[in-house]
Copies of this chain bind each other. A is one copy, B any other.
Amino acid sequence: MTRIGFIGLGNMGGRIARRLVDAGHPVLGYDPAAGAAERAGATPAASVAEVARESDQILLSLPDSRAVEAVVLGPDGVLAHAGPGQIVVDLSTAAPDSTRRIAAALAARDAAYLDAGVSGGAAAAERGTLTLMVGGEEHALERVRPTLAPFAAKVFPMGPSGAGHSAKLLNNFLNAVSLAATSEVMVAARKAGLDLRTLLDVLNSSSGANWATANRFPHIVEGDYLEGGLTSALMTKDVVLYVDHLRGLGVPALNAAGPLASFGLAANLGYANQISNRVVDAIGD
């Protein structure tokens, strides 16, 4: 039976590990927070090294590339214990450049690294209906599919190593662009005296339609900010990752100004740790 290890049992990781446990997989879990493994129903490990030594497949759910590099490349980390056939699946939102470096280091020890961008949030994790965008070797992906099945409803192979984390950044960037620009438009509409509900009807049946006009603003104009989603601080962080990603690719970042300014302004006005939908108040204050 495949021995599954899990490092990073926070908001997302804890819920995903629980899905695995509930599906009958034994999970060896590690998180620096005391009790996190137990809460997820996993067998607690004493260290990253123990998880690395005792698992065939290791899932990571960490806050950023710095944390992933510490866990994988750091002293007594995953790489130090990696061996042939082992597969690491990184569910973090991370910098594709870093992802590719890590994958190359593991490949040198005949281990595989899959970068899996996650879409769907905590509720979808709980229901097991996440969407994964996966970069890396397809044969490794085929081998981990049974492990992904309990928590991911859709699994898209995106391309080579880094492509999964790249796809995640690209999606989040378009989300940020739509939310920022639509917020500005709604503030302008209110000042121009337009009927906001009618405007949303018009936009949603025309070329101005986007995720924010369709799924956010019909609630926001009723006063419901949909608390619980991505904060402005995290939105800005993802946009900076996107800008650095484009720099690495040699593609000019012509379109990042809007979200950088908008969510930066929201953070500056005290909305940093509130849902990014508050950006409309930041622009309209």
Interface readout for A197-236 with B: 1 if CB under 8 Å, 0 if not? Answer: 0110111011111110111000000000000000000001
B170 touching A188 by the CB < 8 A rule? yes
Given A192-B96, A194-B159: A251 in contact with B208 (beta carbons within 8 A): no
Residues of B within 8 A of A269 (CB): 285
- Answer yes or no: A195 CB below 8 A from chain B CBs: yes
Q: Judging by beta carbons under 8 Å apart, are B265 and A175 in contact?
A: no
Instruction: Specify which of B158, B257, B264 is in contact with A260 (CB 8 Å cutoff).
Output: B257
- Interface 1/0 per residue, A174-185 and B, CB below 8 Å: 110110111011
Which stretch of A3-11, A104-112, A139-147, A240-248 is in the interface? A240-248
Chain A: interface size category: 35 or more
A34 at the interface (CB under 8 A from B): no
Is the pair B254, A262 in contact by a Cβ cutoff of 8 Å? yes
Residue contact A250 to B265, C-beta cutoff 8 Å? no
* A78 surroundings in chain B (CB, below 8 A): none
CB distance from A259 to the nearest CB of B (A): 8
Query: Which among B156, B188, B258 is the interface contact of A202 at CB below 8 angstroms?
Result: B156
A187 on interface, CB distance cutoff 8 Å: yes
Residues of B with C-beta under 8 A to A119: 202, 206-207
Considering the complex, give the chain B residue whose CB is closest to the CB of A120: B206
On whether A258 and B177 interact (CB within 8 A), knowing A159-B193, A194-B166, A244-B240, the answer reads: yes
A267 interfacial by beta-carbon distance below 8 Å: yes
Of chain B, the residue at the smallest CB distance from A207 is: B175
The yes or no answer to A60 lying at the interface (CB within 8 A) is no
The count of identical subunits is 4
B257 in contact with A188 (CB, 8 Å): no
Tell yes or no: A237 within 8 A of B by CB: yes
Once the chains bind, are B207 and A171 in contact (CB under 8 Å)? yes
Which partner residue on chain B sits nearest A195 by CB separation?
Answer: B159
B residues near A83, Cβ cutoff 8 Å: none
> What's the Cα separation between A197 and B139 when bound, in Å?
21
Inside 8 A of A243's CB, which chain B residues have their CB? Answer: 240, 243, 260
Known: A171-B208, A177-B177. A252 touches B268 (CB 8 A): yes
13 contacts between A and B (CB under 8 A): A162-B193, A163-B192, A167-B189, A174-B185, A178-B207, A180-B254, A187-B251, A191-B251, A250-B267, A252-B283, A253-B260, A254-B260, A265-B265
